[in-house]
Amino acid sequence: MITLYHAPRSRSSRFIFLLEELGAPYEIANVSIRRRDGSGALDSHNPHPHGKVPAIRDGDAIVYESAAIALYLTDKFPAAGIGPVVGDAKRGAYLTWLAYYAGVMEPAWVSAFMNSEVPRGTAGWVKTDEVMELVNATLSKNPYILGEKFSAADILIGTTFQLFMGSPLLPKTDLLESYVARVVERPAHARAQAKDAA
């Protein structure tokens, strides 16, 4: 049984989506987190070292960081076929996009949000324009980030775009809108939404 440490409408929400896709046995442990508006508090029941979500517990293993959790879960529950396993031709692309999500995409948008320059040659990430060039080029060839097939990388990337699309930081385009629609129209997403705030 996997325990997902979760706070409603946060980065942990998409792991309900992932666990639903995987058909994995799981339970949700709601914890409070410190929110941007000053509400919320550190929760002593949360095993995350910084009091953030998501985190999962699987027996004695505690896993945190969204990309690591996605990889851990898709490796543990390969039958759903949404995380290319070792030996699969798409494994390299899968690892690349999970790491790119955490190491380039998230910092790129935080830089943009803070209106801060991305120092070329120093920062390990790039500006959102460069990220979107790659994303658009990728999605103009295929419906999903790894190609023809939906994967857990789409859960991270698609739900993030859903959240920010239409904001000055992520202008709407037909390509992005149809990508997000493909991701969030999945039945597992609807089930996850129902459980998110329950």
Ligand X SMILES: N[C@@H](CCC(=O)N[C@@H](CS)C(=O)NCC(=O)O)C(=O)O
What does the binding site for ligand X look like in residue numbers (CB under 6 A)? 10-11, 33-34, 51-54, 65-66
CB-based closest residue to ligand X: 52
Amino acid in the structure at residue 23 = G
1 neighbors 139 (Cβ within 8 angstroms) = no
Backbone angles phi and psi of 181, in degrees to 5 = -60, -45
Least Å distance, CB 121 to ligand X, is 24
The smaller minimum CB distance to ligand X, of residues 99 and 134, is found at 99
Q: CB 98: neighbour CB atoms within 10 A?
A: 24
Structure-token pair, residue 119: 């120092």
The smaller minimum CB distance to ligand X, of residues 39 and 140, is found at 39
The smaller minimum CB distance to ligand X, of residues 64 and 136, is found at 64
Q: At what angle do helices 152-164 and 91-100 cross, to 10 degrees?
A: 30
The smaller minimum CB distance to ligand X, of residues 63 and 120, is found at 63
Least Å distance, CB 188 to ligand X, is 20
170 neighbors 113 (Cβ within 8 angstroms) = no
Residue appearing with tokens 């103009």: 140
The smaller minimum CB distance to ligand X, of residues 52 and 189, is found at 52
Amino acid in the structure at residue 63 = V
CA distance 197 to 192: 9
Least Å distance, CB 191 to ligand X, is 20
Least Å distance, CB 33 to ligand X, is 4
Structure-token pair, residue 82: 């949404």
Least Å distance, CB 65 to ligand X, is 5
57 neighbors 5 (Cβ within 8 angstroms) = yes
Least Å distance, CB 53 to ligand X, is 5
The smaller minimum CB distance to ligand X, of residues 33 and 108, is found at 33
